[in-house]
């Protein structure tokens, strides 16, 4: 999926969809998975989590889902996390002077 999913979310309704997608893709506790796992579309799942929990709680990690991390981490980063990782890699490259095209 990667950034393709982020681009689709933008086209489908903007940044709010990206936020709902990110929330819908977070690792959930068993009880929250029982409530929301039946919603296949991550944007719809995230929107429902936001509607039920409010934005601030929905943004927070679901600490009950920590035991599920070994199963979810191999699935890879969400588009926002991948973009953030790419941005950090670019900053680190710029700070190191490598690959900057500046002759260093």
Q: Is 86 helix (H, G, I), strand (E, B) or coil?
A: helix
Assess if residue 101 is contained within a domain: no
Assess if residue 98 is contained within a domain: no
Residue 1: the pLDDT is: 44
Assess if residue 59 is contained within a domain: yes
Q: Give, to the nearest 10 degrees, the angle between helix 3-13 and helix 15-24.
A: 130
Domain count, the chain: 1
Residue 41 phi/psi, 5° resolution? -75, 120
Assess if residue 104 is contained within a domain: no
Assess if residue 33 is contained within a domain: yes
46-56: buried (b, 16+ CB within 10 Å) or exposed (e) per residue?
bbbbbeeeeee
Assess if residue 45 is contained within a domain: yes
Say if pTM beats, i.e. exceeds, 0.75.
no
Assess if residue 97 is contained within a domain: no
Assess if residue 92 is contained within a domain: no
Mean pLDDT of 38-47: 93
Query: Domain residues for 27?
Result: 3-73
Mean pLDDT of 76-101: 60
Residue 63, pLDDT > 80, answer no
């Amino acid at each position: 999926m990667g950034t393709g999913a982020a681009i689709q979310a933008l086209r489908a309704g903007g940044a709010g969809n990206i936020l709902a997608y990110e929330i819908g893709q977070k690792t959930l506790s068993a009880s929250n998975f029982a409530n929301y796992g039946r919603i296949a579309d991550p944007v719809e799942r995230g929107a429902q989590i936001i509607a039920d929990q409010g934005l601030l709680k929905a943004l927070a990690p679901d600490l009950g889902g920590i035991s599920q991390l070994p199963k979810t981490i191999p699935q890879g980063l969400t588009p926002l996390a991948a973009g953030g990782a790419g941005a950090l890699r670019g900053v680190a490259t710029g700070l190191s002077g490598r690959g900057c095209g500046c002759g260093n």
